[in-house]
Amino acid sequence: MSLYGRDFLSIQEWSTEELEQVLDLAADLKEKQQRREAHPILRGKTLGMIFQKSSTRTRVSFEVGMWQLGGQALFLSANDLQIGRGEPVKDTARVLSRYLDGIMIRTFSHAEVEELAAYADIPVINGLTDRLHPCQAMADLLTIREHKGSLKGLKMAYIGDGNNMVHSLMHGCAKFGMDISVATPTAYEPNAGIVAAAKQVAQGTGSRIELTQDVLEAAAGADVLYTDVWASMGMESEQVARQAVFKNYQINQQVLAAADKKAIVLHCLPAHRGEEITEDVLEGPQSVVFDEAENRLHVQKAVMALVMGE
């Protein structure tokens, strides 16, 4: 099926079949890259990358990915754009549409990304917002599929803050028939509307989505353990307070022992060792965190190739 011209703002907005197409192409492009086989699918195309939040993995993986696909990427910080000086998003969207073949944006407000997509005539890819992180979640799903062979029927345990990461993971698990048990402290649960939307999709795929405050209950029998930082970017002022609230929401040897003995451990990085995950687990034999980080490159190349390539 053709996905040319589509925006990728949320996993929820794409069908399971379309998402499978992303994972299949990502796996194929990964093999091609490992063989050093050229795949200039986007030769002559240009991606504009808008960054209002700093990044390591997002910038490098999109920029390198675009180069490997035969195109080029332009880094555009808030300081480089008139949007940072008050130009309306809708004007920026229409101007950039005349110059570029696609836009990736990493910012705070999800509504801003939706407005950008509404007014742009070219595909818009969500590189992260405070609400969602779909490219990372797709890289996670690719990593799980590589290590487990399939996705349907597996159980993921997410331990930590009910943030943008778990929102996209719930969407992804629901689409692929994976169970997900989310353990968060009281008052730090995922967005209720996103939970409800994911549960609605899950009814059709056989996925179970559960919320709990009990870390070991969430981890029991899990095939995948997942965590993220306790205080996301922009929440630095809450770091000390959150350390007290989240001190028991950590992936450690006790939590690992509660999961399936062949469980894999994921973390979207950057990691704060000794907080949300212990050093021995992150560096241990069940950690596939750096496979996961690599897969950002391959998944994003697949998304770009599908929505920008004719």
- Bridge partners (DSSP) of residue 265 are 225, 287
Catalytic choice (161, 179, 228, 260): 228
Strand arrangement, sheet containing 46-51: 72-77, 46-51, 102-106, 124-128
Does residue 173 carry a catalytic annotation?
no
Does residue 298 carry a catalytic annotation?
no
Q: Which helix (H) or strand (E) holds 180?
A: strand 179-183
Q: Which helix (H) or strand (E) holds 272?
A: none
Catalytic choice (6, 179, 268, 298): 268
Q: How many CA atoms lie within 13 A of 30 on its CB side?
A: 20
In the structure encoding, which two tokens stand for residue 106, read together? 């990493």
Catalytic choice (106, 145, 171, 267): 106
Does residue 57 carry a catalytic annotation?
no
Does residue 208 carry a catalytic annotation?
no
CB 267 within 8 A of CB 132: no
In the structure encoding, which two tokens stand for residue 299, read together? 């998944």
CA distance 151 to 166: 17
Does residue 286 carry a catalytic annotation?
no
CA distance 88 to 76: 16
Catalytic choice (12, 136, 250, 300): 136
First vs last C-alpha separation in the chain? 12
Handedness of CA 164, 22, 68, 149 (dihedral sign): positive
CB 183 within 8 A of CB 214: yes
Catalytic choice (57, 171, 267, 296): 296
Q: What 8-state DSSP symbol labels residue 89?
A: H
Does residue 228 carry a catalytic annotation?
yes
Q: Omega into 270 within 30° of 0, i.e. cis?
A: yes
CB 250 within 8 A of CB 222: no
Catalytic choice (133, 145, 267, 298): 133
* Residues with active-site annotation: 106, 133, 136, 228, 268, 296
